[in-house]
Amino acid sequence: MTIGTKTITVTLLRWIPGPIKDLAKKVIFQVEKQQIVQHQLLLHTLLQKYTSDTPIIIFPPSLDWNVQLFQRPQQLALALARQGACVFYLQPHPNRRMVPFEPLSERMYLCNVNVHVFEALAHPFVYLLTWNSDYAHMFREPQIIYDFVDDIDVFYGDRNKMLAGHQSLLRDAKVVLATAKRLVEQIHAQRADVIYCPNGVVYEQFDLKDQSISPPPEIQPILDMHKPIIGYYGALARWFDYELLKEVAKQRPNYMFLLIGPDYDGTIKSADLDKYNNIIWLGVKPYEQLPHYLYFFDVATIPFQVNEVTHAVSPLKLFEYMAGGKPIVVTPMEESMNYPGVLVGDSPQSFLGKIDYALSIKNDSKYIRQLKETAYQNTWDARAKLILSVIQNKGDLTLTQI
């Protein structure tokens, strides 16, 4: 585990006597200030590589780049860079031992620097989410892209603070995106210019054509059983319908139900899944390995509880499942039901019937082609092109100088 410099500094200061502590704080402040200036000079040098019309977009700290689930902010950052923007993604806990601006791809930088480094830029485009709205005031006249990604009740923390941040972003943002039609409806009265922008997929990452792919060692014993694999990957949290899963697993003991992902909030521990021999939880797997697990699913599922929160969810995995050519069974969540080829079960019996039907069409070339075509139309690059076209049409999206 890496301990941040700031954590160490705060811990050490607790043990320093009062008068000396004041002096130590001043020294530390001067050191940090000097480092910020050094990083600003590095940033200035880096920006000289790009022309004056290169779009520049900053992602303030939100999710660690290497978080358990590779999510929308990371995917959009990469896609925006592929589409021509210069993107800076700031780590929430900068590792001072790492390169300050680590190039991950062309025009894409992972930043291990203090957010104040970017005060040197005038009018930057800044990508913000509901939970990190506080960063808006740390930039010089920012042009905010507010990405409204989920119902506010999904987020942990002070709900009143979240609502206040949400309202301030709706008021001040130059561009507002929403990932689900329910979310668009929620804010349309305040922002009639809201852009509907669901999640997407890196199509070629999940469209595995090699028929000789070796299974991950952990699922080889499951394959050896020669039973259908009904799979799910993603967060296992309070919105996952564990009761539905247990009911269908009980009624189909000859099916293997495979779960991949983190126990996001401890709910899987209390779900008593270990009582079912045909439910297997493999824990967290690196994102880049997920296509190789999906390849061996017979049916892919999204068994979420149905409520106001999940109606407004755009599951990242939906288009990934499609690109992988897997029949998809979901509970009746509005956003997931918008796409052709998605099978919907509104009760345990109905959900089970749709799984049975999905198994019968898993090799239907027309059905699989429909899924893949839908995925191909919903890539992250398509989302990035949409965002860039919107912000460029709204005016000043140019490379700002120090």
User: Model confidence over 365-381: pLDDT tens digits?
Assistant: 999 999 999 999 999 99
What is the average per-residue pLDDT within 150-155?
A: 84
Average pLDDT, the chain: 90
Split at pLDDT 50, 70, 90, the class of 28 is low
Tokens 């920012």 belong to 142
Q: Which run of H or of E encompasses 101?
A: strand 101-105
What mean pLDDT do residues 224-230 have?
Answer: 97
Give residue-wise pLDDT tens across range 275-290.
999 999 999 999 999 9
Helices (H) and strands (E) in the chain, counts: 14, 14
Residues sharing a CB contact under 8 Å with residue 319, sequence separation 6 or more, in sequence order: 199, 200, 201, 374, 375, 378, 379
Contacts of 63 (CB under 8 A, 6+ apart): 71, 73, 74, 92
Q: What is the pLDDT of residue 26?
A: 55
Query: Where is average pLDDT lowest: 64-68, 88-92, 266-270, 303-307?
Result: 64-68
Share of the chain above pLDDT 90, in %: 78
CB hemisphere CA count around 204 (13 angstroms): 1
Q: How far apart are CA 312 and CA 181, in angstroms?
A: 7
**Residues 224 and 256 sit within 8 Å (Cβ to Cβ):** no
pLDDT at 391 over 80: yes
Cβ–Cβ < 8 Å for 142, 125: yes
Structural domain boundaries of the chain? Answer: 50-200+382-393, 203-378
Cα(72)–Cα(80) distance, rounded to whole angstroms? 12
CA distance 327 to 228: 13
User: Which of residues 349 and 152 earns the better pLDDT score?
Assistant: 349
Q: What is the DSSP letter of 155?
A: S
Which of 269-273, 317-321, 395-399 is modeled with the greatest confidence? 317-321
Distance CA 378, CA 365 (A): 20
The single-letter DSSP state of residue 260 is E
Please tell me the distance from the alpha carbon of residue 230 to that of residue 321, in angstroms, as a whole number.
Answer: 12
Residue 402, pLDDT score? 39
In what helix (H) or strand (E) does residue 180 lie, and over which residues does it extend?
none
What does the angle CA 216 – CA 217 – CA 223 come to, to the nearest 5 degrees? 85
Cα separation, 187 vs 311, in Å, equals 15
**DSSP 8-class letter at 212:** T
Split at pLDDT 50, 70, 90, the class of 396 is very low
Residue length, the chain? Answer: 402
**96 or 311: which leads in pLDDT:** 311
The CA distance from 391 to 293, in Å, is: 37
Would you place residue 15 in the very low, low, confident or very high pLDDT band (cuts 50, 70, 90)?
A: low
Proportion of the chain above pLDDT 70, given as a percent: 90
Residue 330, beta-bridge partner list: 302, 344
Least Cα distance to 247 among 355, 110, 106 occurs for: 355
Single out the residue of 126, 142, 144, 143 nearest to residue 60, CA to CA: 126
Q: What is the pLDDT of residues 162-213, one digit of tens each?
A: 899 999 999 999 999 999 999 999 999 999 999 999 999 999 999 998 778 8
Residue range 291-306: mean pLDDT, rounded: 97
Quickly state the pLDDT bin for 100 (edges 50, 70, 90): very high
CATH number of the domain at 50-200+382-393, please? 3.40.50.2000
Name which of 125, 124, 144, 128 is nearest 62 in CA terms: 128
The structure's pTM equals: 0.89
Query: Worst-scoring range by mean pLDDT, 46-55, 250-259, 325-334?
Result: 46-55
pLDDT at 7: 46
Is the Cα dihedral 130, 391, 319, 309 positive or negative? positive
Residue 245 has pLDDT above 80, yes or no: yes
According to DSSP, the residues that pair with 127 across neighbouring strands are 145
Confidence band (pLDDT; 50, 70, 90) for 5?
very low
Nearest to 163 by CA among 173, 174, 152, 155: 152
pLDDT band at 2 (very low <50, low <70, confident <90, very high): very low
Structure confidence at residue 399 as a pLDDT band (50, 70, 90): very low
Predicted confidence at residue 157, as pLDDT, reads 80
CB 279 within 8 A of CB 249: yes
Q: What is the fold of 203-378?
A: Rossmann fold (3.40.50)
Same fold? 50-200+382-393, 203-378: yes
